[in-house]
Structure formats: C-alpha cells, structure tokens
Amino acid sequence: MAVSPPICQFDAPWHDFELPATDGTLVRLQDIAGPRGTLIMFICNHCPYVQSVLDRILRDAHDLMRHDIGVVAISSNDVNEYPQDGPAEMARLAKAAEFRFPYLYDESQAVARAYGAACTPDFFGYNAVGGLQYRGRLDASGRTPGPSDAKRELYDAMLQIAETGHGPEKQIPSMGCSIKWKAS
C-alpha cells in the first residue's frame, strides 16, 4: 500500500542512533553527520518504489557526499515477514550497487519510530546543526521512474541547506511502501 509521509516540521531535531552496518561495524549519527548537512534515508531492498529509483538515489547521495553532506540509509522493516530486507540481503545489495555510505539495520524499529519514518523511501534532510529542513521526495518518480530529466528535488534541497542552513518552503512528500512494522 502506498503511503506518503507528513510535511516537513522545520527545525525538528534529529535523533541519535547506533546501528549495525552491512560491513559489521556499528555506526552512530555522529559518525555520518556532515559538516554542511546530513541526509538520513529510510529504504529497503524489496520496495518497488526504492527499486525503481535506486540508481537516482545513489547518484544523488554520492554527489551530495562530495559537498560535505553526510549520508546514511536505514532499513527498518520486519524481516520475519520480509526476509529480503534482512542484513545479509542488505549487504549483498550494498555491495552490488556500490553504496558509498553506510546501510544500517534497525532491527528494533526504534530509530524509524523516533524519526517518524512512514515509507520507503523516506528522506530526512538536516542542516549542519541537526535541524530538519527537508522531508520531501527524491524527484517526480513514483512506483516507476519519472522522466530522465526530472528535477533533482532532494539533491537541490540538500545543496540549498548546505549553503543557507534552510530548506525550501515548498516540498512535495515522498511516496512509497509503508514501513513493515512488527506485530505488537
């Protein structure tokens, strides 16, 4: 079922975390925070919305890292119901797709809950002092890729945040598969 997250709550603080990465290390927020901003992405392996734009996500994430913006991806899905989103499969995807940023596993789902993540992909763009400035979409893509020349909304917003500390006032929410929450 397609879900859209709520609009950006400007200056909402980020939430500290320490999660295992696909390479076996533990990664904390302070390890990936960039001097000019930080992008925290909630993604997963199986989501068709993520799969359709993974090449664009990687392009934009890798380009942003060259601008001193920290980047991390987190998978929080219930792997009992969606085993393809588990750590071994995450590691395979990160290696095959050549992720240059950590891909973390949120087994308890506490990090996704703290951030209020709603779907995959869900993008959280923070300024250098940890205030939320972007909660929008990657671009005009959905379950299928948008046009190849689609405006790079996430990329442009993060560059604006890096330069000014503030995100764009107008943001279009991301859309994707709902986070697969564990049964209570």
pLDDT per position as a tens digit, 41-83: 999 999 999 999 999 999 999 999 999 999 999 999 999 999 9
Q: What is the CATH number of the domain that holds 144?
A: 3.40.30.10
Residue 184 lies in a domain: no
Helices (H) and strands (E) in the chain, counts: 5, 10
Q: What is the pLDDT of residues 132-168, one digit of tens each?
A: 999 999 999 999 999 999 999 999 999 999 999 999 9
pTM for this structure? Answer: 0.97
> Alpha helix locations (H) across 33-132?
48-65, 87-96, 110-115
Q: How many other C-beta atoms lie within 10 A of the C-beta of residue 155?
A: 20
The answer to whether residue 11 is domain-embedded is: yes
The alpha carbon of residue 4 and the mean position of all alpha carbons in its chain are separated, in whole angstroms, by: 14
With the C-alpha atoms ordered 70, 131, 153, 73, is the resulting torsion angle positive or negative?
positive
CB neighbours of 138 closer than 8 A, spacing ≥ 6?
Answer: 53, 56, 57, 60, 121, 123, 152, 153, 154, 174
38 band by pLDDT with thresholds 50, 70 and 90:
very high
Which pLDDT score, from 0 to 100, does residue 5 have? 85
Q: pLDDT at position 139, please?
A: 97
Give the pLDDT band (50/70/90) at residue 25.
very high
In a domain, 30, yes or no: yes
DSSP SS3 for 151: coil
Domain that holds residue 107: 2-178
Q: Do 174 and 1 contact (CB within 8 A), yes or no?
A: no
Q: How confident is the model at residue 1 (pLDDT cuts 50, 70, 90)?
A: low
Number of domains in the chain: 1
Task: Tell me the Ramachandran region of residue 59: left when phi exceeds 0, alpha when psi lies from -120 to 50, beta otherwise.
Answer: alpha
Is 183 within a domain?
no
Q: How confident is the model at residue 2 (pLDDT cuts 50, 70, 90)?
A: confident
pLDDT at 184 over 80: no
Distance CA 104, CA 87 (A): 8
